[in-house]
């Protein structure tokens, strides 16, 4: 039985336990290892998993780094990987046994990317490979052989908003904008060219919904609902998530859309990087949205 909560919406994303994954290892599933470096995969991975490097899916477009590569390139990569739209696909990541650089978001970024281009059946391993290892489950150095597929991408434009759409709607009464970055970035100077956050954005760090010691492990649903309630976030609003480059925000997108079942959730993919490079857009410092 699948553990975790999912499909208040259309059920394309599910969170599953390590017990569940161990049971289905020999089933008709694809497993993608999205650890931060290929050497992490080489050192150890879950049996049957294929290495998937989500960093190759984005590039610089114009003066904005971190935007998706052309769709035909995505189709080529997914086809070479053997990914198929309707084959159930488990995705996991971890801290990186060799690199030690995992931030936890490879799992949600890879999932969002597959969904963005038409995948219909994604399973996120709750706790990732780190929980799998803590429980003493089997790891391997053997590599399965990929069978190439024909992946015909179907771009889901309803999952994200462009810069123009974001700027036109972000201040509407029926919209809540969420900044998924750490609070120090939200409130003050950081690595971007301007300090603070986009005016009106509410701070909700993506990591706040996850276990402090494991960013792949969800907090209990009641704790997440309490956090959401304290932020004043309600289902009657359109939720637009952003972060630095749109990667960290994928966690909020997946949680709100498929764990909590909010009806209208988007990502502003260009995020703070694009906002600070366009026109003379203002930013706000300090703990408050405005």
User: Could you give the residue numbers annotated as active site?
Assistant: 243
Spatial separation of the C-alpha atoms in residues 56 and 66, rounded to whole Å: 10
Six token digits for residue 16: 């599953």
Reduce the DSSP state of residue 64 to 3 states and report it. Answer: strand
Reduce the DSSP state of residue 124 to 3 states and report it. Answer: strand
First to last CA, the chain: 45
Are 151 and 78 in contact by the 8 Å Cβ rule? The answer is yes
Reduce the DSSP state of residue 65 to 3 states and report it. Answer: strand
Spatial separation of the C-alpha atoms in residues 229 and 161, rounded to whole Å: 24
- Cα dist from 273 to 20, 181, 190, 245, 281, whole Å: 38, 12, 12, 6, 11
Cβ-based neighbour number of residue 274 at 10 Å:
24
């Amino acid at each position: 039985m699948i553990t975790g909560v999912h499909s208040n919406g259309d059920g394309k994303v599910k969170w599953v336990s390590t017990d569940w994954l161990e049971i289905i290892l020999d089933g008709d599933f694809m497993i993608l290892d999205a650890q931060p470096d290929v050497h992490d995969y080489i050192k150890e991975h879950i049996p049957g998993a294929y290495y998937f490097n989500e960093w190759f899916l984005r590039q610089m477009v114009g003066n904005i780094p971190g935007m998706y590569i052309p769709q035909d390139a995505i189709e080529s990569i997914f086809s070479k990987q053997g990914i198929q739209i309707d084959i159930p696909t488990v995705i996991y990541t971890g801290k990186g046994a060799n690199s030690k650089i995992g931030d936890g978001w490879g799992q949600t970024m890879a999932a969002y990317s597959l969904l963005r281009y038409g995948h219909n059946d994604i399973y996120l391993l709750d706790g990732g490979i780190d929980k799998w290892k803590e429980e003493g489950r089997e790891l391997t150095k053997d590599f399965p052989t990929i069978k190439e597929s024909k992946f015909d991408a179907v771009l889901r434009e309803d999952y994200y908003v462009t810069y123009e759409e974001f700027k036109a709607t972000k201040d509407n009464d029926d919209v809540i904008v969420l900044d998924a970055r750490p609070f120090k970035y939200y409130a003050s100077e950081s690595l971007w060219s301007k300090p603070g956050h986009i005016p009106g954005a509410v701070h909700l760090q993506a990591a706040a919904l996850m276990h402090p010691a494991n960013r792949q492990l969800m907090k209990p649903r009641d704790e997440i609902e309490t956090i959401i309630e304290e932020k004043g976030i309600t289902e009657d609003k359109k939720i637009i998530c952003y972060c630095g480059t749109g990667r960290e925000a994928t966690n909020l997108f997946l949680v709100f859309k498929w764990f909590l079942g909010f009806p209208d959730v988007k990502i502003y993919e260009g995020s703070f990087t694009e906002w600070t490079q366009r026109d003379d857009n203002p930013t706000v410092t300090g703990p408050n949205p405005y």
